[in-house]
Amino acid sequence: MNEWTVVEYRGYKSKSEKTDWCSLIRQKVNNLYTRYFDEEVILKRDYISLLNTPKQLYYQWKNGVEMDSSELTTIIDEAMNNAEKLKVTYQKQKMSLPWKDYKKVIEGFLQKILNNCKLIEDYEDKQKSNLYDFMNEDNFYIGYICKYLENEMKQWQKKYYGVRNHKKYKRCKLCGVLIENTGNKRMYCIACAKANELKNATLRKQKQRQNELSRNRKC
Ligand SMILES: [Zn+2]
Protein backbone atom coordinates (compact mmCIF):
# COMPACT_ATOMS: atom_id res chain seq x y z
CA MET A 1 0.00 0.00 0.00
CA ASN A 2 2.93 2.34 0.63
CA GLU A 3 3.84 2.04 -2.96
CA TRP A 4 0.95 4.03 -4.17
CA THR A 5 0.88 6.84 -1.67
CA VAL A 6 3.61 8.37 -3.83
CA VAL A 7 1.46 8.21 -6.93
CA GLU A 8 0.60 11.58 -8.43
CA TYR A 9 -2.67 12.37 -10.09
CA ARG A 10 -1.84 13.65 -13.54
CA GLY A 11 -5.18 14.46 -15.03
CA TYR A 12 -7.51 12.17 -16.78
CA LYS A 13 -6.51 9.08 -18.66
CA SER A 14 -9.26 6.56 -19.13
CA LYS A 15 -7.12 3.55 -19.86
CA SER A 16 -3.86 2.31 -18.55
CA GLU A 17 -1.39 0.92 -21.07
CA LYS A 18 -0.28 -1.55 -18.47
CA THR A 19 -2.47 -4.50 -17.78
CA ASP A 20 -0.99 -5.94 -14.58
CA TRP A 21 -3.53 -5.88 -11.77
CA CYS A 22 -1.77 -3.17 -9.79
CA SER A 23 -1.88 -0.75 -12.74
CA LEU A 24 -5.51 -1.58 -13.42
CA ILE A 25 -6.56 -0.84 -9.85
CA ARG A 26 -4.48 2.33 -9.83
CA GLN A 27 -6.28 3.34 -13.02
CA LYS A 28 -9.62 2.72 -11.33
CA VAL A 29 -8.57 4.90 -8.40
CA ASN A 30 -7.57 7.62 -10.86
CA ASN A 31 -10.83 7.40 -12.76
CA LEU A 32 -12.87 7.66 -9.58
CA TYR A 33 -10.99 10.82 -8.69
CA THR A 34 -11.72 12.24 -12.12
CA ARG A 35 -15.40 11.40 -11.90
CA TYR A 36 -16.05 12.68 -8.40
CA PHE A 37 -13.51 15.45 -7.80
CA ASP A 38 -11.77 16.79 -10.90
CA GLU A 39 -13.58 19.94 -11.99
CA GLU A 40 -11.61 20.20 -15.18
CA VAL A 41 -12.75 16.91 -16.65
CA ILE A 42 -16.43 16.36 -17.38
CA LEU A 43 -17.22 12.95 -18.80
CA LYS A 44 -21.02 13.09 -18.92
CA ARG A 45 -22.45 11.80 -22.16
CA ASP A 46 -24.67 14.79 -22.98
CA TYR A 47 -21.73 17.16 -22.53
CA ILE A 48 -19.37 15.11 -24.69
CA SER A 49 -22.05 14.77 -27.34
CA LEU A 50 -22.42 18.58 -27.53
CA LEU A 51 -18.68 18.96 -27.89
CA ASN A 52 -18.77 16.48 -30.76
CA THR A 53 -21.30 18.54 -32.72
CA PRO A 54 -18.78 20.01 -35.21
CA LYS A 55 -17.33 16.56 -35.86
CA GLN A 56 -20.76 15.04 -36.42
CA LEU A 57 -21.69 17.84 -38.82
CA TYR A 58 -18.43 17.39 -40.66
CA TYR A 59 -19.17 13.72 -41.25
CA GLN A 60 -22.69 14.52 -42.39
CA TRP A 61 -21.29 17.06 -44.84
CA LYS A 62 -18.69 14.57 -46.02
CA ASN A 63 -21.48 12.08 -46.66
CA GLY A 64 -23.16 14.56 -48.99
CA VAL A 65 -25.68 16.30 -46.73
CA GLU A 66 -26.15 19.83 -48.03
CA MET A 67 -25.45 22.53 -45.51
CA ASP A 68 -25.75 26.24 -45.35
CA SER A 69 -22.70 27.84 -43.75
CA SER A 70 -24.54 30.45 -41.66
CA GLU A 71 -26.93 27.77 -40.45
CA LEU A 72 -23.95 25.61 -39.50
CA THR A 73 -22.35 28.43 -37.54
CA THR A 74 -25.58 28.92 -35.61
CA ILE A 75 -25.86 25.21 -34.77
CA ILE A 76 -22.24 25.01 -33.63
CA ASP A 77 -22.40 28.22 -31.60
CA GLU A 78 -25.54 27.03 -29.87
CA ALA A 79 -24.03 23.62 -29.10
CA MET A 80 -20.90 25.21 -27.64
CA ASN A 81 -22.96 27.61 -25.55
CA ASN A 82 -25.03 24.77 -24.17
CA ALA A 83 -21.90 22.74 -23.52
CA GLU A 84 -20.43 25.61 -21.52
CA LYS A 85 -23.63 25.86 -19.44
CA LEU A 86 -23.67 22.12 -18.84
CA LYS A 87 -20.04 22.18 -17.84
CA VAL A 88 -20.77 24.75 -15.13
CA THR A 89 -23.68 22.62 -13.88
CA TYR A 90 -21.54 19.48 -13.73
CA GLN A 91 -18.62 21.30 -12.14
CA LYS A 92 -20.90 22.25 -9.27
CA GLN A 93 -21.67 18.57 -8.77
CA LYS A 94 -18.06 17.69 -8.04
CA MET A 95 -16.88 17.28 -4.48
CA SER A 96 -13.85 19.08 -3.23
CA LEU A 97 -10.93 17.03 -1.97
CA PRO A 98 -7.20 17.40 -2.67
CA TRP A 99 -5.50 14.38 -4.21
CA LYS A 100 -3.36 13.79 -1.12
CA ASP A 101 -6.47 13.52 1.08
CA TYR A 102 -8.20 11.40 -1.51
CA LYS A 103 -5.33 8.92 -1.29
CA LYS A 104 -5.96 8.60 2.44
CA VAL A 105 -9.64 7.94 1.81
CA ILE A 106 -8.74 5.26 -0.73
CA GLU A 107 -6.27 3.70 1.67
CA GLY A 108 -9.11 3.29 4.12
CA PHE A 109 -11.23 1.63 1.42
CA LEU A 110 -8.40 -0.71 0.44
CA GLN A 111 -7.86 -1.68 4.05
CA LYS A 112 -11.55 -2.52 4.33
CA ILE A 113 -11.43 -4.48 1.09
CA LEU A 114 -8.45 -6.51 2.27
CA ASN A 115 -10.20 -7.28 5.55
CA ASN A 116 -13.41 -8.36 3.83
CA CYS A 117 -12.06 -9.93 0.67
CA LYS A 118 -13.61 -13.29 0.07
CA LEU A 119 -11.38 -15.99 -1.20
CA ILE A 120 -12.27 -17.14 -4.65
CA GLU A 121 -13.07 -20.63 -3.31
CA ASP A 122 -15.70 -19.24 -0.91
CA TYR A 123 -17.29 -17.31 -3.73
CA GLU A 124 -17.42 -20.36 -5.92
CA ASP A 125 -18.99 -22.42 -3.16
CA LYS A 126 -21.79 -19.90 -2.87
CA GLN A 127 -22.32 -19.51 -6.58
CA LYS A 128 -22.06 -23.27 -7.12
CA SER A 129 -20.19 -22.68 -10.32
CA ASN A 130 -16.65 -22.70 -11.38
CA LEU A 131 -15.36 -19.22 -12.14
CA TYR A 132 -12.25 -20.60 -13.73
CA ASP A 133 -14.41 -21.66 -16.62
CA PHE A 134 -14.62 -18.16 -17.93
CA MET A 135 -12.26 -15.93 -16.00
CA ASN A 136 -8.92 -16.21 -14.37
CA GLU A 137 -8.23 -15.56 -10.72
CA ASP A 138 -6.61 -12.17 -11.32
CA ASN A 139 -9.64 -10.89 -13.21
CA PHE A 140 -11.86 -12.02 -10.40
CA TYR A 141 -9.98 -10.02 -7.77
CA ILE A 142 -9.55 -6.96 -9.97
CA GLY A 143 -13.28 -6.92 -10.72
CA TYR A 144 -14.09 -7.42 -7.06
CA ILE A 145 -11.79 -4.64 -5.87
CA CYS A 146 -12.99 -2.17 -8.52
CA LYS A 147 -16.65 -2.80 -7.68
CA TYR A 148 -15.92 -2.46 -4.01
CA LEU A 149 -14.06 0.84 -4.53
CA GLU A 150 -16.96 2.15 -6.55
CA ASN A 151 -19.49 1.27 -3.85
CA GLU A 152 -17.34 2.71 -1.10
CA MET A 153 -17.01 5.95 -3.06
CA LYS A 154 -20.80 6.18 -3.41
CA GLN A 155 -21.20 5.72 0.35
CA TRP A 156 -18.50 8.30 0.99
CA GLN A 157 -20.28 10.76 -1.26
CA LYS A 158 -23.47 10.37 0.78
CA LYS A 159 -21.54 11.11 3.96
CA TYR A 160 -19.89 14.10 2.30
CA TYR A 161 -23.26 15.63 1.49
CA GLY A 162 -24.87 14.45 4.71
CA VAL A 163 -27.72 12.59 2.99
CA ARG A 164 -29.36 9.55 4.48
CA ASN A 165 -29.55 6.21 2.75
CA HIS A 166 -32.29 6.61 0.23
CA LYS A 167 -33.40 4.89 -2.93
CA LYS A 168 -33.00 7.89 -5.19
CA TYR A 169 -31.03 11.08 -5.18
CA LYS A 170 -30.94 14.19 -7.26
CA ARG A 171 -28.99 17.41 -7.45
CA CYS A 172 -29.90 20.82 -6.09
CA LYS A 173 -30.77 22.94 -9.13
CA LEU A 174 -28.78 25.87 -7.80
CA CYS A 175 -25.64 24.62 -6.09
CA GLY A 176 -25.41 21.05 -7.36
CA VAL A 177 -25.16 19.21 -4.04
CA LEU A 178 -26.65 15.76 -3.68
CA ILE A 179 -30.14 15.72 -2.14
CA GLU A 180 -32.59 12.95 -1.40
CA ASN A 181 -35.18 12.47 -4.08
CA THR A 182 -38.27 12.12 -1.97
CA GLY A 183 -40.64 12.06 -4.92
CA ASN A 184 -42.10 15.52 -4.36
CA LYS A 185 -41.20 18.55 -6.40
CA ARG A 186 -38.20 19.36 -4.30
CA MET A 187 -35.60 21.17 -6.41
CA TYR A 188 -33.21 22.74 -3.93
CA CYS A 189 -31.11 21.81 -0.95
CA ILE A 190 -32.20 23.30 2.38
CA ALA A 191 -29.72 26.21 2.21
CA CYS A 192 -30.68 27.16 -1.36
CA ALA A 193 -34.40 26.76 -0.61
CA LYS A 194 -34.06 29.25 2.26
CA ALA A 195 -32.01 31.68 0.18
CA ASN A 196 -34.55 31.39 -2.62
CA GLU A 197 -37.46 32.11 -0.26
CA LEU A 198 -35.66 35.15 1.06
CA LYS A 199 -35.00 36.41 -2.45
CA ASN A 200 -38.63 35.95 -3.45
CA ALA A 201 -39.85 37.70 -0.31
CA THR A 202 -37.54 40.65 -1.02
CA LEU A 203 -38.74 40.84 -4.60
CA ARG A 204 -42.36 40.75 -3.45
CA LYS A 205 -41.72 43.61 -1.02
CA GLN A 206 -39.97 45.68 -3.68
CA LYS A 207 -42.87 45.21 -6.04
CA GLN A 208 -45.35 46.13 -3.33
CA ARG A 209 -43.42 49.31 -2.58
CA GLN A 210 -43.30 50.23 -6.24
CA ASN A 211 -47.03 49.70 -6.57
CA GLU A 212 -47.69 51.87 -3.52
CA LEU A 213 -45.42 54.60 -4.87
CA SER A 214 -47.12 54.67 -8.25
CA ARG A 215 -50.53 54.70 -6.58
CA ASN A 216 -49.50 57.62 -4.37
CA ARG A 217 -48.23 59.50 -7.40
CA LYS A 218 -51.59 59.11 -9.12
CA CYS A 219 -53.46 60.55 -6.16
ZN1 LIG B 1 -28.32 24.02 -3.10
Mean pLDDT estimate for the chain: 86
Tell me what pLDDT residue 57 has.
Answer: 93
Q: Report H helices in the chain.
A: 21-36, 45-51, 53-62, 69-92, 99-116, 120-127, 137-161, 190-218
pLDDT at 81 over 90: yes
For residue 192, report the distance from its CA to the centre of ligand 1, in Å. Answer: 4
For residue 193, report the distance from its CA to the centre of ligand 1, in Å. Answer: 7
Q: Is the Cα torsion angle 105, 8, 94, 55 positive or negative in sign?
A: negative
For residue 189, report the distance from its CA to the centre of ligand 1, in Å. Answer: 4
Tell me what pLDDT residue 157 has.
Answer: 96
Tell me what pLDDT residue 115 has.
Answer: 84
**Residue 165: band (very low, low, confident or very high) from pLDDT cuts 50, 70, 90:** confident
pLDDT at 2 over 50: no
**Residue 1: band (very low, low, confident or very high) from pLDDT cuts 50, 70, 90:** very low
